[in-house]
Each structure stands twice: as structure tokens, then as C-alpha cells.
Amino acid sequence: MLVDMVCVHAHCAPQFVDCVTCQLTTTQSGANGEGCPSEDFKKEMAMQPPLRLPAGPSGLCFNRNHFIGDNFSVDVFLHNHRNAASLETIRDDLGIYLKVLRSAMIELINKDYADFVNLSANLIGLDKEINNIQSPLGQLREEVLHVNECLTEAMKELSGRLEQRRILRERKKSLQYLSQTQSSLQKLSKILNIDNVSKEDITQELIERASSEYNQLQFTITKCESFITSEQKELVQKIGNVIKTTLGEMLFNSLQTKKVDRIQRCLQIFSMLDQVAEVETLLQKKIIAPAMHDIISESALQKNPTGLKGIYSSILTFIDNKLKDLIFITKPNKSTSVKGYNIILNSFWPEIEYRLEVHMSSIFAPGNPELFYTRYNDSLEFLKKLEQYFDDSKTIEQFHNHSQYKNFQQKWNLPIYFQIRFQEIAGSFENVLSETINNQSFSSGDSEEYRLNATKICFTSLTSCWAQGIFILTLTHRFFKLTLQIISRYCTWIDVAIKQPWSNQPQSSQNPASPDNISKDKINWDKLKFLVSLYSDIRKLVDNLPSLLEIIKMRLQPMPKPEILDKCLLDSKICLETRLPQIQKIVVVQLSAESIVHLKQLNDIPRLFRKTNRDIPTKPCTYVNALMKCPIDFYNLYLNAIGKDQVILWLEDIFSIITTQYYIAVDDVLTSVQKTEDSLRRLKQIRDRPSQQNFEKAGVSDDDKIRIQLKVDVEAYRSLLIEVRVDPEKVERLSDLLTLTDKATSAKSNTTQ
């Protein structure tokens, strides 16, 4: 049977009557006329084996497997086959293959037709059978609900009776414990003779028995507390007081007689009674507090020849004399020790800290920094010695976390102490820096470490921050910050000092340190001495920073990250070193400017030889010595101050500036001489030809003497450079200057010949 299908795909091309994909999927879904397959059908088909389409005739322009792809699209299909064949060919081939598919569909329907018909026949009468079994199932459901209700009621009744039985059992146990309690009370009353108690009659054995029985009594009372009468409660309290009082007296007597066994047994009994905290409090009030009343007081502090250190020594002596046995018995790392006690932490230290804070509060006053430093260090040393009585790190950590330990540390007003030290260290340094550079004092000789008092005080302030008697480990961050501040303040002072005008220099709105400004003033040897001394001090201070860093590291041992200090001081070192080129530039420019002034005498050389009939020059002019006077004086004065190598480096820079200006001046003179000579030659050529010939044959002319004089001066200048140990090769433009004078004299000689 063949069923014709109509395509309902919206994307099918309008020129085709049927969609092959719709024909296939509709056929697979039973051809019910509902159009394209549903999502459920698609999921079901995805679980089925791959669909195999019937083969078509050969020569089709497409592949049959294209139609069963999950992402099949008509538009894509046409786009991919538009170049393979024309639309008419594609339409014809699709029509041919559609006929093949219809034939295959008819064969499939005819093959399974009998199964389809049998399936419909088997479903006839199914509704009646369902209705027949519905009534029995309803009755069964009601019976099940009834049984469930009966079981629930039975469970409730059973639970109630079990609860009553539990209550009765608990009441029975409580009555048994009450009986035990009454028996224990009678037994304890008999042991302790509670009505006519005499402490002398109670021996250690009796108190041990009573303590054990009392401990059991405490347990039984918790089990029958609701049945205990007020009279019984009063009797229990009375028995407990008698036991605690008697045990306490036995403990104190044992401590006085130093009977270790009895002390240990008393502590064990107290521990068994869960009275550890009460015992520690009792020891603090009865033994430690009376002794500390005389040791820790303002009068004792004033009378003690060693001050606070003597007080701490007396406290430690008391521990060794009075508490040694208790500490030994309660050590946690011993197998035979009594567990749970910490006499130093819970009894001794709270009393000590309280009395130091209340009865000797003057030790925390930071008004006298030297005394404050001594007392603070003595206190830290006392705490370290106190920690030696703890055998494990866990107890030491508990000691550090103790509230009174933290309170004791906070009582020391370290910020105020630092402020006082800050005013002492930074104040004295600032007073020196506030002086003008005219009033800066210099060292008496070259043997001193620093030449300027400001630098000397700067390094003294740096070392004072870490000196014994000043530095406190807790204030490391503050003292290190002060160290960096001192160096930074010194750098700022350097910037101001090198720009500050000297007393005989006029105040200028421009930068006083600029070369243009300096060249207008005569050289000031006092300021020059200051600048050279400052340069030398900066270098020495930079060289001493590593030793300062070693002092800091030694104070901070052990230090987890020393590279942080290295980096910070490296920045300070760079800050100081950047000032050295500035000072050097000012000195070099000032000295060179003073010498360059004498180059004006070069312009007088032509007037010395023109029409004066002077001899050929063999000696340098006086301006050469004047040109070298300031650099040579500088060399002689400060050779030992800043070192030979450094002086020579400065002279190289000075002579490079002088030589550059010298070259310009010589070039100008030679150019002027050449122009004058050319003008005279042209004038004589016009006047008289023979005279010109005589002029050319005459000996050395005045202009030649001028050139020779310039060459002699330059060579003398070079010789003076060598005398002050300056390498001529390192002086800029010197070789050009020598070449210039050599060419001038040699060119004239060739012309004359």
C-alpha cells in the first residue's frame, strides 16, 4: 500500500513538489500525515542503527547519503551542486530518485503490513479487562491502610510504655546513687569526725581516704541531685571545706619542711578533686604575695644598690628557695610529676606583674632615657630567665600569650622613649645643619676622618641610633627609619649648601651654582675649601655605610631577610653619590672660569710684535702662568685632602674647559693675524711691486713672531700640564690646539721659502 506524502518543510524549495527528507522521515514515523517528525521521534531514531537508503540509478548528480545527514539543508544542497549540474538536471534526478524511494516505501509497507494489522487486533477489549481488575485493587488498598493504622497505634502504645520503663529505671538508679550518697556522707562524717573535728587528729592517710571518698561523693551527687535535701547539701559543703582546709595546711607545712613526697601527694589529691586552679590561687595569696610585698616596692627599689636589677635578682632567688620543689614536682616532661599545674605561669607571674605595675610603677616612666633603657633591658633579661623555668616551647608560647605578659610589655612607653632619643639625635644634627656654610667648622688636620663638622655629626647620629644604651630591639623599625631620615636630611642640606652664596658673593635670583653666575665672580677659596671638604666627606661617608650596615645586622641577629636592609642603604648610598658630580662640576667651573679670564691677554700679543722690532720670542707670555695659577694652587692645596687620583681627574676636567676656550682664543688671534697680513700684502702689491719682493725676502715678520709666540705659549702650557701630572692625551682639544699652532708656523715657513 502506497501512501503519498505532502512536504510541509518551510525550507523546501518552491520549485519542488516533494521533499525527499520529509518523504523519508514521514515514512519512518508511520505516515500519519502529521508532517515532519517530532523531537521524540528524532531521539528514538538517533538510538537506532544508521538508516540505509535504497540505491538509485547510476548517473545521478548527487549522493544519496546527503539526505540522511543531521545538518541537511536544502539551501546548502543546492549551493553545493549548482556547479555540478543545472537546476533542471537536479530536478529531474530528484524526481527519478523520488520514484525509487516510493517503490522502496511500498515494499517496506507491504512487508510489515501483517504485523501492523495484528497489533491493532490485539488491543481490542483491553479497556474492559482494565475495569475488571480496578475494583479488587481498590479493596486491597483499603485493607493495607487499615493494617498500617493498627500498626501505628501499637507502636505508639509500645513507645509510651518503653518511656515509662526508662523513667522508672532512671529513678531506680537515682535512688541507688542517693543511697550511695547517704552512705558516703555517713562514712566521711565518721572519718573526719565532722561534728567534733580536730585537725590534729586527721592524718595524711585519713585525708587521702576522705578525699577519695569525697571525690566519689561528688560523682554520685550529680546522678541524684534532684533528691538531695538542703541538710545534705550543707553537710557536703562542710565536708568539702574541711578537706580543702586540711589539705591546704598539710601542703604549706610540707613546703616549709621541704618534704617533697608529701607535697607531691597533696598536689595529687587536689588534682583528683579538680582543685588545681584553687591551689594555684591559694599559693599566690598565701606564699607568693606576702614575700613579694617586701621585695617589690618603691622603697625597696630606692634602697637596693643595683636598682631594678637587684629587685629581679631577689625575685629569682625567692623562686629558687621557696618554689623550687613545687616547680620540680609539676614539670610536665617528667613521668612522675603531677600533671595540670603551672606554678610560674598561673601563680607566680600574675602576682609579680601586678605588684610591678601597681607598687613600682616608676620603672615605666620614660623621662630619663638612660635609666629607662637600663630598666627595660633588665626587665627583658628577667623575662628570659623566667622562661628558663619552662621546659617546653608550648609553655613559653602560653607565657607570651598571657594577658598580663602583654600588659607588662605595653606598660613600657617605648614611643615616648623613641621621641626623646629622636630629639637628642636628630636635634643635635639639625642644629649643626642650621648653621650657614660660612660658619661651618673644619677639622684641624687631614688626619681627621671627616673634614666638616656637619658630616662628622651626621655619622655620629647614624651610629648613635644603633649604639649600646640607645637602641632597643622592639623599636628597630623606628630607628632604621631615623637612619634613613638622617641620610636624606644630609643630602637635602648638601643641595642647599652648594647653592647657598658665600658671604662675599652677591645674592642672585639665578642659580648661584650655574657656570654663568660663577664666571662673573672672583674665586672664593673659602667656599672652594668647603666644597672640596664636602666632596671628601661624602666619599668617606659612602665608604663607611657598609660598616654601619654590619653594625645594624649585628644588632638584629638573627635576621630573616637582610637583603631588605641592603636595598634601603643602597638607595641612600646612591642618593649621596649623585651629589658628588654636582660638587665636582661647581669646583671645576669655578676654577676654570677664574683661569679663562686671563685668556684675554692673548689679544695683546699682536700689539707686542707689530712695529716693535722685538726679537723672535723664545719664552712664554705671563698669561700662561696666570692661566695655570688657580689649577696649580688647587693641586697643591688639596692633593692630600681628596687624593691624588681624584685631584688629577678634576684637573683634567678643568684643563679641558680651559683648553677649549684657549683653542678658540688662539684661533681668533691667528685668523685676525692672517687677515691683517693679507691686507698688508695686497696694499703693498698695489703700491710697489719691487717693494713687495723685498717684503717677501725680508726675515721673520711681525706676524711670524706672533705665531711663534703662540706656539711657544701653547708648548709651555702643555709642559705645565705635565708638571701637575695631567696626561695631555686626556685633555680635550689640546692636541687640536698644538696642531693649530704647528700648522700656523709651518705654513708660514713654507710660504717664505
CA distance 521 to 523: 6
CA distance 640 to 446: 7
User: What is the sign of the dihedral through the CA atoms of 528, 532, 535 and 541?
Assistant: negative
CB atoms within 10 A of CB 385: 14
- Burial (CB count within 10 angstroms: exposed 0-12, middle 13-18, buried 19+), residue 330: buried
At residue 305, the 3 state secondary structure works out as: coil
Nearest to 349 by CA among 272, 278, 407, 421: 407
pTM for the whole thing? 0.66
pLDDT at 442: 66
CA distance 201 to 195: 13
Find cell 654601619 and name the residue.
Answer: 548
Residue 611 to residues 165, 300, 318, 709, Cα–Cα distance (Å): 151, 106, 112, 15
pLDDT at 178: 82
Helical pair 476-499 and 579-596, crossing angle rounded to 10 deg:
10
Half-sphere exposure of 226 (CA within 13 A, CB side): 6
At residue 452, the 3 state secondary structure works out as: strand
Domain residue ranges of the chain, discontinuous segments joined by +: 20-124, 151-274, 284-412, 416-577, 594-752
Find cell 618554689 and name the residue.
Answer: 323
Residue 333 to residues 82, 265, 525, Cα–Cα distance (Å): 96, 18, 78
At residue 546, the 3 state secondary structure works out as: helix
CA distance 185 to 229: 13
Residue 192 to residues 238, 244, 263, Cα–Cα distance (Å): 11, 12, 21
CA distance 723 to 719: 6
Question: Could you give the angle at the alpha carbon of 84 between the alpha carbons of 83 and 85, nearest 5°?
Answer: 95
What distance lies between CA 134 and its chain's CA centroid? 81
Nearest to 479 by CA among 429, 428, 537, 417: 417
Nearest to 500 by CA among 563, 433, 594: 433
Read off the C-alpha cell for 324: 623550687
CA distance 373 to 365: 10
pLDDT at 33: 41
Q: What is the 3-state secondary structure (H, E, C) of 173-231?
A: HHHHHHHHHHHHHHHHHHHHCHHHCCCCCCCHHHHHHHHHHHHHHHHHHHHCHHHCCHH
What is the DSSP secondary structure assignment for residue 123, as one 8-state letter? T
CA distance 335 to 407: 34
6 Cβ contact partners less than 8 Å away, ≥ 6 residues apart = 18
CA distance 736 to 718: 12
Residue 178 to residues 224, 228, 234, Cα–Cα distance (Å): 6, 8, 16
Half-sphere exposure of 108 (CA within 13 A, CB side): 16
* Residue 502 near residue 438 (C-beta atoms within 8 A): yes
CA distance 95 to 77: 15
Could you list the mean pLDDT of each consecutive 10-residue stretch along the chain, which spans 753 residues? 35 38 40 48 56 77 78 82 81 87 86 75 75 85 91 92 90 84 79 61 73 80 78 81 83 84 85 85 89 90 90 92 85 74 89 91 90 93 90 86 91 93 93 77 61 91 93 92 94 89 49 39 75 90 91 82 84 92 90 88 84 82 88 84 83 90 89 83 70 49 85 90 87 88 73 49
CA distance 634 to 100: 118
At residue 390, the 3 state secondary structure works out as: coil
Secondary structure element (H or E) that encloses residue 241, with its range = helix 230-257
At residue 442, the 3 state secondary structure works out as: strand
pLDDT at 461: 94
CA distance 141 to 3: 49
In single-letter form, the type of residue at position 182 comes to Q
CA distance 348 to 322: 11
What is the DSSP secondary structure assignment for residue 413, as one 8-state letter? -
At residue 603, the 3 state secondary structure works out as: helix
Polymer length in residues for the chain: 753
CA distance 73 to 67: 9
CA distance 746 to 209: 131
703 Cβ contact partners less than 8 Å away, ≥ 6 residues apart = 609, 610, 673, 674, 676, 677, 748
CB atoms within 10 A of CB 544: 15
pLDDT at 529: 86
Half-sphere exposure of 485 (CA within 13 A, CB side): 14
Read off the C-alpha cell for 94: 530528484
Alpha helix stretches (DSSP H) within 500-524? 515-518
430 Cβ contact partners less than 8 Å away, ≥ 6 residues apart = 489
| Prior bond of 50 cis (ω within 30°) | no
CB atoms within 10 A of CB 539: 16
* Residue 498 near residue 582 (C-beta atoms within 8 A): yes
545 Cβ contact partners less than 8 Å away, ≥ 6 residues apart = 569, 572, 573
Residue-wise burial string across 479-509, b where 16 or more C-beta atoms lie within 10 A, e elsewhere: bbebbeebbebbeebbeebbebbbeebeeee
CA distance 267 to 611: 127
pLDDT, tens digit, 9 for 90 and up, residues 156-192: 999 999 999 998 888 888 888 888 888 878 777 777 7
User: What is the sign of the dihedral through the CA atoms of 288, 291, 293 and 296?
Assistant: negative
CA distance 745 to 753: 13
